[in-house]
Structure 1
Amino acid sequence: MIPWVTVWGYSADISIRGQTLFVREKGMREAARYPLDTVSHLLIAGDNILHTAVISQCAKRDIPISFFDIHGKPEGALFCREPHLSAAQDAVPKHAFALAAAEAAADSRMRFLHELAESHEALFYQGEFDILIHARSEFEYLITLPELSRGYALTKNMYYEILSRVVPKSLGYVRRVEGAAPDPVNVLFSRGYAVLYATVSAACAGAGLDLNKGSLYDKPGACVLEIMEPALVPLVDKAVIKTASSGLLNSFTRSASRCIIPEEAAAFFADELSHSLDRKIIEENVCAYANAVEEGAVVSYHYPA
């Protein structure tokens, strides 16, 4: 089964004929075809044309449809189940849940940076990695959620800035920027995180979780974003860095409003994601989170290194 069908950009025509989903991208003469019984999720980002027959057939088959803006910001979803664990989520020990996500995510980023340092000399500035280690060790002593969020944000921001030293400088990547991506590396991050968000969101809905009730974040999609954090490096970031280092992004272009990556790079990245975004692993972690919510226990994450 296809993990997801992604439509990204402007003016794509998304229609259905018989039992087949057709996606004709702007400027393309031929439409891509997907048998409906192989589609598990439809992701639509940007301003595209969605025929009502597609919505009808997806509803009949319980195929979730997730919507994002062109920069990868979640805008909504269709055909998610009612969250029967919503009340239980209100009662969880929020600091413990937030701490578990922050620690797992920070450890994952530090492991990846250590791996990169083995093949990139002078990756860290003097004392930089020690600062990361110290900041991470302080998490358990930050007793309020705002303090924990600030400490976690420090390690996260440092991580994205350090990554700029392993990709070609010609790509213009300096740090992670949400919203309109100023460079092709940020475009890949946004695309990858949007796909991961949709996949985790579908699993959360299936587990009966309220997508908007989390501990580490206080904003729409908080539960999804919390469960995503420890998964970002193994499931998305490694694919981003591999694509950025491949040379396929060198011919990227910019329009007045966005950065456009070459089709070959997009295809390469999509293939990498299809291998790294293991839906079974995601569902296992979502189930573990849901069980912890239901039992009032502390959650733990088990994503690949």
Structure 2
Amino acid sequence: MKSGVPWVTVWGYGADIRATRGTLTIREGTSRRSYPLSSIRHLLIAGGHTLETAAVAHLTANNIPVSFFDVHGEPVGMVCPPGYTACPLRSAQKNIPVHRFAMSVIVSSLKSRMRYLNELGSGREDGLYYKGELEILADASRELEFLITLPELARVFLLTRNMYYEILSRVAAPELGYRRRKKPPYQDPVNAMFAHGYAVLYASTAVSVTGAGLDPEIGSLYGSAIPPGMNRGACVRDIMEPLMTPMVDRVVMDMAQEGITAGQYEISSRCLLSEKLMKEYNRRLAESIDSDALDRAVAEYADAVVSGSSP
């Protein structure tokens, strides 16, 4: 893997993106950023910008994929260098035991979220859970092994996930306006940061998924238990789901507890994060999103696809 900047993100509207054989240049208003292509592993573009065709050619020639997202962080496409597009495991993916794979994703993600909630609550005198919430989560965890249909699995997964995000709001500063995970357009900085962090994690995971020979669109929890809809990249989402808490949520909630001032974001039709806040957030994400751990998770998933066992 290349050392240096793990990814470069262009977010919002109006940037001009160009590249020569050795340098990527991004102009945003009066500011300008330049990166040696040898230091970049991935370019993420979210929102509306101008991207030169020559830039795409130089990026792919340097083995750098380009991922595209809408302004809310939803993935819409990817340009991959030669060799990234082959999916030799596609046939095997179509024959995986979907229920078993979906169950594995749900169990892993629920354990990860429960560990984090218990960690957050351990230092609070007033506790973190409202009456009955911990019992509901524990019962849901025990109930999983008895669920035999995909809709039942999806119901428990969505219930516990929604509860998790609502419980997180109790440790964020109230003035940030975060109450629960919402759909875009986001009206608070915490949801906006979640969206950006998940976009970065998605793009990072997608590179490993495609490199491992997996078809990013064939999943088990996403795409099967949870219908496709907007859930493009179902395989990518399945693999990243248990990693969202340690790699993104911790960073977001740490910053939300430390304090995000009103001058660091602006709310109009949606929440806009300041350049200074985004710079610090991206710095922390770069430390938190472990590419080696992602590669291991993808490799384990690919091995499970081949063997037919649970990932």
Same fold (TM over 0.5): yes
Q: Which SS does the other structure have where 1:6 is aligned?
A: strand
Structure 1: tracts of 5 or more residues without a match: 300-305
Q: State whether structure 2 residue 43 is matched by structure 1 residue 42.
A: yes
Matches within 5 A, 1:136-147: 136-147=141-152
Q: State whether structure 2 residue 62 is matched by structure 1 residue 61.
A: yes
* Matching residue's letter, 2:267: R
Structure 2: tracts of 5 or more residues without a match: none
| Post-superposition offset of 1:117 | 0.3
| Post-superposition offset of 1:271 | 1.1
Tell me the residue number matched to 2:77.
76
Tell me the residue number matched to 1:3.
6
1:177 to 176, 179, 182: 182
Tell me the residue number matched to 2:246.
234
| Post-superposition offset of 1:182 | 1.6
Tell me the residue number matched to 2:94.
90
Tell me the residue number matched to 1:152.
157
Q: State whether structure 2 residue 47 is matched by structure 1 residue 33.
A: no
Q: Which SS does the other structure have where 2:258 is aligned?
A: coil
* Matching residue's letter, 1:113: L
Tell me the residue number matched to 1:275.
287
* Matching residue's letter, 2:247: L
* Matching residue's letter, 2:104: A
Taking the aligned partners of 1:282 and 1:250, their CA distance within structure 2 comes to: 34
| Post-superposition offset of 1:40 | 0.7
Q: Deviations over 1:59-100 (max 9, x none)?
A: 212211000000000000011422111100011111110011
- Is the contact made by 1:41 and 1:63 (CA closer than 8 Å) also made in structure 2? yes
Tell me the residue number matched to 2:206.
201
* Matching residue's letter, 1:9: G
Q: State whether structure 2 residue 24 is matched by structure 1 residue 21.
A: yes
| TM-score of the two chains, using structure 2 as the length reference | 0.93
Q: Which SS does the other structure have where 1:10 is aligned?
A: strand
Identity across aligned pairs (percent)? 46
- Is the contact made by 2:7 and 2:42 (CA closer than 8 Å) also made in structure 1? yes
Q: Which SS does the other structure have where 1:238 is aligned?
A: helix
* Matching residue's letter, 1:94: V
Taking the aligned partners of 2:145 and 2:222, their CA distance within structure 1 comes to: 17
Q: Which SS does the other structure have where 2:262 is aligned?
A: coil
Taking the aligned partners of 1:90 and 1:151, their CA distance within structure 2 comes to: 24
Q: State whether structure 2 residue 259 is matched by structure 1 residue 247.
A: yes
| Post-superposition offset of 1:231 | 0.2
| Post-superposition offset of 1:249 | 4.1
- Is the contact made by 1:136 and 1:152 (CA closer than 8 Å) also made in structure 2? no
Q: Deviations over 1:91-147 (max 9, x none)?
A: 111111001110000000000000010123231111211111111111111111110
Number of aligned positions between the proteins: 296
Taking the aligned partners of 1:145 and 1:127, their CA distance within structure 2 comes to: 26
1:164 to 166, 169, 192: 169
Q: Deviations over 1:243-285 (max 9, x none)?
A: 1122234332112x31012332212211110101010110111
| Post-superposition offset of 1:213 | 0.4
Q: State whether structure 2 residue 109 is matched by structure 1 residue 111.
A: no
* Matching residue's letter, 1:227: I
- Is the contact made by 1:184 and 1:249 (CA closer than 8 Å) also made in structure 2? no
Q: Which SS does the other structure have where 2:252 is aligned?
A: helix
* Matching residue's letter, 1:126: K
Q: Which SS does the other structure have where 1:43 is aligned?
A: strand
* Matching residue's letter, 2:169: S
Q: Deviations over 1:33-81 (max 9, x none)?
A: 1100111100000001111111011121221100000000000001142
| Post-superposition offset of 1:30 | 3.3
Taking the aligned partners of 2:217 and 2:308, their CA distance within structure 1 comes to: 18
Taking the aligned partners of 1:30 and 1:268, their CA distance within structure 2 comes to: 17
Taking the aligned partners of 2:237 and 2:217, their CA distance within structure 1 comes to: 9
